Amino acid sequence: MGFEKFGRRSFTAMTKTAKFVDLLAEGKINGTVCKKCGAKFFPPRADCSSCFSAEMDWFEMPTKGKLETFTTAYYAPFGFEADPPYTMGVVNFGDIKLFARLAKDIPIDDIVAGMDVSIRTLTYDDGQLSFEIIKA
Amino acid sequence: MAKDVAVIGVGQSSFVRGYPGSIRELAFEAFKEAALDAGITQKDIGASVFCSAPEYDKQRSPAGVLAEYLGLIPQPTFYVETVCSSSSTGVKVAYSMIKAGLHDMVAVVGFQKMSEITSAESQERMGRGADIQWEAPFGTMMPAYYALYARAYMAKNGLTHEDLMGVRLKSASYGTVNERAVYRKGVKAEDFDATNPDAKMAGPVAWPLRVGDACANADGSSCIILANAEKAKAFTKKPVWIMGIGAASEAVNMAARPDFSKGLSVGYAAAAEAYKMAGITSKDIKVAEVHDCFTIAEIMAYEGLGFAKMGEGKELIRAKETYKEGKIPVNVDGGLLSKGHPIGATGGSQMRTIVLQLRDEAGPMQVPNNPDIGLVHNVGGVGLYGSVTIFGR
Ligand SMILES: [Zn+2]
């Protein structure tokens, strides 16, 4: 699958990490890990900036993390007008972090920094594939 | 201090909404003012550097097009971009060329005509100065990114909405006397009162940031003319010397950012480098321009620059220490919050303010007691790039 399938609306059609989208379709949210030096990356990378290796493995992201910070957007950019309000945040898993939207079913007032969260894949009505942050 | 490279001329267009001309004419306004200020002609200039964020320009490769209109051909010209800090980066490049002996005098022209596209398009394109592969697909915008920092910073350091409003009230009080600013109306605390239906500043944009926490898009241009010591002495009695230049960059993706409650890492790194090169500390700075695209950015800048300890930036605004009469006056030209933020013109505009301050020519915005050292802090993207430049008489 091409990378244009990623997210509410993708801006990148081609990347060597496009397999990320196939993995999303299988319900998996993966980062990459360097086979040579063990460096872990999320978002996934095709090239290791620590040792220059291009030999990467996929690894499944942890599922238990803490919401480090978040914001609720009341306006949206061109192409996302139907979506607000929506909340986006950064999950800290300890050794790695992830940025995404929070699931719509979490009431905005229930969201606090430091709360325990998890992540899951989602498919939009138009077939776009993404992932989101959910309550742990 | 090394008196090797001086600013000999500064210029800026008025920052406006909907400039009634082309980017050539807009750039000409700032260049003309700077050339007249320096008392030079185009023949004296060895090279030019044009700076903007290309996502707003319909014209491709604008440097050559603008150089011709400004009369700067056949000298070499080129284009520099680091989003919102483009013209500060342009000054670093110009400084380097002069220090290397390639040119005696270089003009750095920043410009941006943001009104060519709609506000929604503009938000999206600014967003493309962030990570388009992994973050834009979620519908990110600049306010949302800064809000991630604001949320974490406020939670850890006890910063309140009242403090953020304090930054805006300060900026607005100076914006009213800056005839080049786009937003010249006064702002009152009532304007932030969400229970008041007429309160224009109270609406949420990306919580915890409100309308009043954000600067406005604007069209504008700026120009800084730099020269080596020999030329500076020949042309001006009031050279303002570049004492230190620092710059840094950071991961574009929020997933790779360190602690959000500590502010932008590039602010700390660029400041440390600039202070070291200048051989001074933050205590020597008498007046500063910092990148306040959002109110939270100004508070974080206080700390990155060493005006306050980490987490204590709020104390400066609470005690009004960053007002004109305070310990360290900051953004007394109204800052980006009042002037507006024409991306490529921003750093040059900040530098013009500091040069005028050091020449005692800032009029109603003049800081008392003849400031001798001033600083410009200019951030590109959400701390993707950071630039700190120190100027001295
Ligand atoms: Zn490696």
The tens digit of pLDDT for each residue in B323-372 reads: 999 999 999 999 999 999 999 999 999 999 999 999 999 999 999 999 99
What per-residue confidence (pLDDT) applies to B126? Answer: 72
At residue B79 the predicted structure's pLDDT band, cuts being 50, 70 and 90, is very high
Give the separation between CA B137 and CA A100, rounded to whole angstroms: 9
Position B246, amino acid: G
Measure CB to CB from residue A11 to each of B137, B148, B152 and give the nearest one: B137
CB environment B268-279: b (16+ within 10 A), e (fewer): bbbbbbbbebbe
Question: From the CA of A133, how far away is ligand 1's center (Å)?
Answer: 28
What does the pLDDT look like over B102-144, one tens digit per residue? 999 999 999 999 988 877 777 767 777 789 999 999 999 999 9
Tokens of B69: 């209109």
Q: What percent of chain B has pLDDT over 90?
A: 92
DSSP conformation class of A93 = -
Q: Enumerate the residues of chain B whose CB falls inside 8 A of the CB of residue A8.
A: 137-139
What per-residue confidence (pLDDT) applies to B121? Answer: 74
CB B278 within 8 A of CB B241: no
CB B197 within 8 A of CB B203: no
Q: Give residues with Cβ within 8 angstroms of B76, minimum separation 6.
A: B47, B48
Give the separation between CA B148 and CA A35, rounded to whole angstroms: 33
Give the separation between CA B353 and CA B28, rounded to whole angstroms: 19
**In this complex, is the C-beta atom of A121 within 8 Å of any C-beta atom belonging to chain B?**
no
At residue A78 the predicted structure's pLDDT band, cuts being 50, 70 and 90, is confident
Is the Cβ pair A78, B253 closer than 8 Å? no
What per-residue confidence (pLDDT) applies to B119? Answer: 73
Q: Over chain A, what is the mean pLDDT? A: 96
Is B293 considered catalytic here?
A: no
Is pLDDT at B185 greater than 80 in this prediction?
yes
- Alpha-carbon separation of residue B297 from A41, B256, B365, B378 (angstroms): 28, 19, 22, 10
Q: What angle do CA B308, B372, B234 make, to 5 degrees?
A: 145
Q: Enumerate the residues of chain B whose CB falls inside 8 A of the CB of residue A45.
A: none
Position B10, amino acid: V
Q: Enumerate the residues of chain B whose CB falls inside 8 A of the CB of residue A81.
A: 120
**In this complex, is the C-beta atom of A124 within 8 Å of any C-beta atom belonging to chain B?**
no
Q: Enumerate the residues of chain A whose CB falls inside 8 A of the CB of residue B140.
A: 77, 88
Q: What is the mean pLDDT of residues B308-332?
A: 98
What per-residue confidence (pLDDT) applies to A117? Answer: 98
What does the pLDDT look like over B163-174, one tens digit per residue? 999 999 999 999
At residue B1 the predicted structure's pLDDT band, cuts being 50, 70 and 90, is confident
Q: What is the mean pLDDT of residues A21-33?
A: 98
Is the Cβ pair A73, B208 closer than 8 Å? no
Measure CB to CB from residue A68 to each of B124, B137, B152 and give the nearest one: B152
At residue A68 the predicted structure's pLDDT band, cuts being 50, 70 and 90, is very high
Give the separation between CA B184 and CA B176, rounded to whole angstroms: 4
| DSSP-derived pairing of the beta strands A97-102 and B385-392 | unpaired
CB environment B180-204: b (16+ within 10 A), e (fewer): bbbbeeebeeebbeeeeeebebbeb
What per-residue confidence (pLDDT) applies to B55? Answer: 87
Between chain A and chain B, the number of residue pairs with CB atoms below 8 A apart is: 115
What does the pLDDT look like over B219-255, one tens digit per residue? 999 999 999 999 999 999 999 999 999 999 999 999 9
Candidates B51, B84, B223, B293; catalytic one: B84
What per-residue confidence (pLDDT) applies to B58? Answer: 84
Q: Over chain B, what is the mean pLDDT? A: 96
Among B249, B308, B286, B260, which residue's Cα sits nearest to residue B374? B286
**In this complex, is the C-beta atom of B121 within 8 Å of any C-beta atom belonging to chain A?**
yes
What does pTM read for this prediction? Answer: 0.97
